[in-house]
Amino acid sequence: MSDDEYRFLRDYDPRAYPSVALAADLVVFAVSAGTLYTAMVRRRDRPWEGALALPGGFVGPEEDALEAAWRVLREKTGLELGEHRAHVEQLATFSSPRRDPRMRVVSVAHLALLETDGRALPVLSAGTGTATAQWMPAYDVLANEKPAFDHRDILTAAVERLAGKIEYTLTGAKLLPEEFTLNQLRRVYQAVWNVPRLDPGNFTRKMAGALHDTGRKAGRAKGAPATVYTVADEHLSPPLVRPARRD
């Protein structure tokens, strides 16, 4: 470090500038029984005491935003992403000056897709600053709830990100085990797009080039065993166009 650099840093006063706190929020999606669920908590502390919220919290001085996201998810819901097959990506930065009534807080939001077999969801448990932690249907939250802060906006952005990406990629398969059937994948699409039914024949044709037939069959209680697939190509070409959403 040069002498000029040293003198500059010695005399620099960060208090001369507006302070901004950094937070990390998470939208965790999982599919069960044909429904897209998201992990929500009910706040125990002010502000927004008693309100629903996404899991989130402040980034510590020795953390980056992703490290903080994993930590606060564990602390607030008991969910440890490292124990599951999960896909995590940065969603967006939310920086409205009035998004938090306490101070200027900028949130780096993350989207997490959690593998399930389509039936059971991981158990959540209330933790730091939360009265409850639970899985809730994502579209029900958007339609009927008023989450804390700007968490409705964050959840909306996450739903739209995922719904858009599965038109041209196999991102939806990240909500399933590594090996899956076409029916399981179709139910994921129906859940994410919030539509009652996609035509099985058209869906199969669209997916044919992007999937690898393992040669194995999945046992079924009724009917012929279903073929088991893995993802062969992350991209769909041509894309699968999203149908009109149900109310």
* 176 in any annotated domain: yes
* 243 in any annotated domain: no
Task: Using alpha carbons, select from 221, 216, 25 the residue that is nearest to residue 107.
Answer: 25
Task: Using alpha carbons, select from 149, 54, 59 the residue that is nearest to residue 111.
Answer: 54
- Count: domains in the chain: 2
CA triplet 21, 22, 27: central angle to 5 degrees?
A: 140
Calculated CA dihedral for residues 208, 211, 217, 221, nearest 10 degrees: -70
Tokens of 19: 């302070």
Amino acid at 41: V
Q: In this structure, are 50 and 160 located in the same domain?
A: yes
* 226-231, strands of its sheet edge to edge: 180-181, 226-231, 211-218
* 11 in any annotated domain: no
> What is the per-residue pLDDT across 192-205, written as a single tens digit (0 to 9) for each?
999 999 999 999 99
State the pLDDT confidence band at 72, using cuts at 50, 70 and 90.
Answer: very high
> What is the per-residue pLDDT across 123-177, written as a single tens digit (0 to 9) for each?
999 999 999 999 999 999 999 999 999 999 999 999 999 999 999 999 999 999 9
Q: In this structure, are 105 and 157 located in the same domain?
A: yes
Tokens of 180: 């899956």
Q: In this structure, are 33 and 115 located in the same domain?
A: yes
> What is the per-residue pLDDT across 204-218, written as a single tens digit (0 to 9) for each?
999 989 999 999 988
CA triplet 139, 44, 59: central angle to 5 degrees?
A: 80
